[in-house]
Structure 1
Amino acid sequence: MSGFDSNPFADPVDVNPFQDASVTQATSGAENMGEYNPFSSPELGSISGTTIPMSATTTQPAVLQTSVEQSPKAAASAAQADLLRQQEELERKAAELERKEQELQNRSAGGRAPNPGEKANNWPPLPTFSPIKPCFYQDFEEEIPEEYRQICKRMYYLWMFHSATLFLNVLACLALFTTRSSSGIDFGLSILWFVLFTPAAFICWYRPIYKAFRSDSSFSFFFFFFVFFFQVAVYIIQSVGIPTWGNSGWIASISVIGTNLAVAVIMMVVAGFFTVNAFLGVILLKMVHSKYRRTGASFTKAQREFSQGVLTSQTFQTTAAGAASAAAQGAFGSNQGN
């Protein structure tokens, strides 16, 4: 009942809420804790590193920043690539000028004045101190189109094999002559065939096919077909080996088996080489003919090329001028006599 005895009209007592028993107990525990630092926790003490301030981070997209930075670099790279390309072009032109200058010097050293645009002969490859100079210019990579380059090289290899076979034929006939003195005519003819047919084959059928592929010449194609057909026929005759013809063919080699087996074996090897020459000749003749049909060459074009070549030849013009001058002088002299 004591709660009802208080005077409600009395002045209110000034009550301090912090003097409450529960509040006083809580504050007394906080005083014992001291200043609390949340970043000095033991768990955080083992973490070391540099704290990145918030201002250092960027909120812009990476693409925008990269595009702004790479545009000057791309322009610089393009300019550098352009300079390198120009430098390579200048170096290539300088090398070409140096090569042409060297060719002119080689021509001058050869004893004749070089003509503008004329290339220095490089075949046969002879040493510089040799008194005999190269007679032809040959460069498959530069002069022969890529479509015909392989077949042209094969024709060159066939000519080399042809020359090697003729040389071995001389050795085989020499071996036969040492065992049989009556075979001296075969040895002499084998030397003649080697000396005659080696350069003749190069000039008469290899160089025409080289010129035909180089300049698409119909006349050179027809000249090659005409000569090389007879060359294949000669290969067949040489592989047969008719006695006293200067060829170590099959007939000649078989006839020596009973006399000297070693010489017969040597001659059979050469006979096999002649047979391979004939076989390769037939194959390459067909291959060249298939290439010829794609070039658009014709007999009419060959006639026109021949007539133009003869009329523009310096030798023909000189001969014709000399003949005309002699005829004019003769006619003038006869008129004066009358």
Structure 2
Amino acid sequence: MSGHDVNPFVDPVDVNPFQDASITQATRGLDKIDEYNPFSSPAGKHSDTTIPVSESSSQPAILQTSVEQSPRATAAAAQTDLIRKQEELEKKAADLEKREEEFQNRTTIGSTSTGTKENNWPPLPRFSPVKPCFYQDFEEEIPEEYRRLCRRMYYLWMFHSVTLFLNVLGCLAYFTADDNSGVDFGLSILWFLLFTPVSFICWYRPIYKAFRADSSFSFFFFFFVFFFQVSVYIIQSVGIPRWGNSGWISSISMIRVNLAVAVVMMVVAGFFTVNAIVAVILLKMVHAKYRRTGASFNKAQQEFSHGVLSNRSVQTVAAGAATSVAQGTLGRS
């Protein structure tokens, strides 16, 4: 039976083919290769410290240049800076020279042979026998902070003149519808011929001079006259009959008589109303500017006395009066 216990598939001797001497020696060589670390320190000394991945830089190495520049480069940079500054100065000088030439040309054109400025308002043609009476230039004479308000006052005066002309047309229509309104038509013509130049001289020119020379006397004169002008605007917009104004009362009274004439007169009354409202607004604006200028009543008195005493006409009249009084006194004695 013992012969049947033997496994025919098992080798009679348990032999390991890898235990051969040549194979074992080759295997030991591979083990040494696996243990070799090319990044380790020499003489088989291994370092326990490792370099973190985050500390390593993935950017290429850059060679740091020296901060200090050579004397030749410094001199070249300084020379370039000087050339640039010289070009800027030359450009500014050319600009200033150009402005000066323009100013001189403008002064030559706007001046006479005696050196005084030639009047340019009203703008009349050269062949007209009537010559301009005033000189007016907002850009040259009025400071920038007052220029806009001064222009508005000038536009108000122009609107005032147009309203007086329309008032003549409205009173003419009123006269065609009612024969008893001839007085209104005559007075409207008088108001147009009188108040147009008077308003320019009495309240527009004073405020122009006040803004031009910061004159306290001109400011006070303007306030006095312009307050009266606002009152006249209110009266004209009301339209009292027989006063020469196409106001609201006269226009409303014409609705039953002639509707077309009433509409024309209402338009004129609306113009008078706009004049009154705009005048009040501009009066407040001028007063606000006046308070900022530091003008006062004492300065106005000083300007008035200085202007009167330095006026040649007043000096001539005063000297003549004094001479006549002296001669009369000597004659009596």
Shorter-chain TM-score bucket reads 0.7 to 0.9
| Between 268-277 and 80-89, the greater mean CA deviation after superposition | 80-89
Higher helix share: 1
Deviation at 1:94, TM superposition (A): 2.5
Question: Structure 1 residues 151 and 95, CA, compared in 2 at 3 Å: closer, same or farther?
Answer: closer
Question: Structure 1 residues 97 and 149, CA, compared in 2 at 3 Å: closer, same or farther?
Answer: closer
1:157 maps to amino acid: Y
In the other structure, the counterpart of 2:92 is: 85
What TM-score, normalized by structure 2, do the two folds share? 0.73
The answer to whether the aligner puts 1:276 opposite 2:274 as a matched pair is yes
Deviation at 1:82, TM superposition (A): 2.5
The answer to whether the aligner puts 1:102 opposite 2:100 as a matched pair is no
Q: Within 5 Å, which residues of 2 pair with 1:94-133?
A: 94-104=101-111, 107-108=112-113, 114=114, 116=115, 118-133=116-131
Deviation at 1:322, TM superposition (A): 1.3
Query: Cα deviation per residue 1:48-98 (whole Å; 9 max; x = unaligned)?
Result: xxxxxxxxxxx999x879866655444333333323322332232223223
What TM-score, normalized by structure 1, do the two folds share? 0.72
Structure 2: distance between partners of 1:148 and 1:103? 22
In the other structure, the counterpart of 1:185 is: 183
Structure 2: distance between partners of 1:183 and 1:67? 94
In the other structure, the counterpart of 2:200 is: 202
In the other structure, the counterpart of 1:156 is: 154
1:93 maps to amino acid: E
The answer to whether the aligner puts 1:297 opposite 2:273 as a matched pair is no
Identical-residue share of aligned pairs (%): 66
Structure 1: distance between partners of 2:125 and 2:78? 58
In the other structure, the counterpart of 2:26 is: none
Structure 1, unaligned runs of 5 or more = 1-58, 109-113
3-state DSSP of counterpart to 2:122: coil
CA RMSD for the aligned pairs?
A: 2.4
1:240 maps to amino acid: V
Q: Within 5 Å, which residues of 2 pair with 1:11-50?
A: none
Deviation at 1:317, TM superposition (A): 0.5
Deviation at 1:158, TM superposition (A): 1.1
Structure 1: distance between partners of 2:93 and 2:289? 39
The answer to whether the aligner puts 1:145 opposite 2:152 as a matched pair is no
| Between 295-304 and 66-75, the greater mean CA deviation after superposition | 66-75
Question: Structure 1 residues 256 and 60, CA, compared in 2 at 3 Å: closer, same or farther?
Answer: same
1:103 maps to amino acid: G
Q: Within 5 Å, which residues of 2 pair with 1:306-325?
A: 306-325=304-323
2:261 maps to amino acid: V
3-state DSSP of counterpart to 2:249: helix
3-state DSSP of counterpart to 2:270: helix
In the other structure, the counterpart of 1:111 is: none
Structure 1: distance between partners of 2:78 and 2:297? 64
1:170 maps to amino acid: V
1:98 maps to amino acid: N
